[in-house]
Amino acid sequence: MGRLLLLNGPNLGILGRREPEIYGTDTLADIEKAVAEEVAGRGWTVHAVQDDSEGTLVRTVNEHPDTVGAIVNPGALMMAGWSLRDALAAYPRPWVEVHISNIWAREAFRHESVIAPLAHGIVVGLGAYGYRLAAQALLHLADD
C-alpha cells in the first residue's frame, strides 16, 4: 500500500473562507478527502501536510522519500521558495504542482514559479478540482 504526499503551503489552511471569489468554497479538508477518494482504488492513502512555514514543508519532503508521489500547492512559496525547490529537486518520485486560481490571469508577480521547472506537470486555474486531476496524473506516473 502506497502513500501519496499532499503538501499545501501558506494560507491554504484557510481555504473555504479565504477570498472565495478566487479560491472557491471548498475547504482543505474537502480537498484532502477528494484526493483520498481519487487514489483509494489503487490502495493508496494520503499523507497531507499544510503549513505556513517553508521549513516545515521542506522537512516533510525530506522525511517522506518513500511516498509514491506528491501533489504540491506551494502557495506564495512558488515565487521565492528556494529551499522548498531544493527539497523537491531531491525528491525521488513524480510530483505535480497545483494552483487553484489561474496564476497567469492574476497579478504579474504570480506569473513565475521557481519550482515549476522541476514538476512533472502543473495544474492551474481549475479550482479544487485541479487536485483530483493531479491525483489522476500521479496514478498514471507513479511506479509503486
Please give the helix or strand (H or E) that residue 47 lies within, else none: strand 45-50
User: In angstroms, rounded to a whole number, what is the distance separating the alpha carbons of residues 49 and 102?
Assistant: 23
What is the grid cell recorded at 128?
479544487
Which is catalytic among the residues 23, 120, 129, 140?
A: 23
Residues in the chain: 144
**Domain boundary assignment for the chain:** 3-105+126-141
pLDDT at 9 over 70: yes
Name the class of domain 3-105+126-141.
alpha beta
CB 134 within 8 A of CB 98: yes
CB 142 within 8 A of CB 2: yes
pLDDT tens-digit map of 87-141: 999 999 999 999 987 776 566 756 678 998 999 999 998 899 999 999 999 999 9
* The pLDDT of residue 107: 64
Which is catalytic among the residues 64, 91, 99, 131?
A: 99
pLDDT tens-digit map of 23-76: 768 999 999 999 999 999 999 999 999 999 999 999 999 999 999 999 999 998
pLDDT at 18 over 90: no
* The pLDDT of residue 20: 79
83 falls in which pLDDT band (50, 70, 90)? very high
Is 23 one of the annotated active-site residues of the chain?
yes
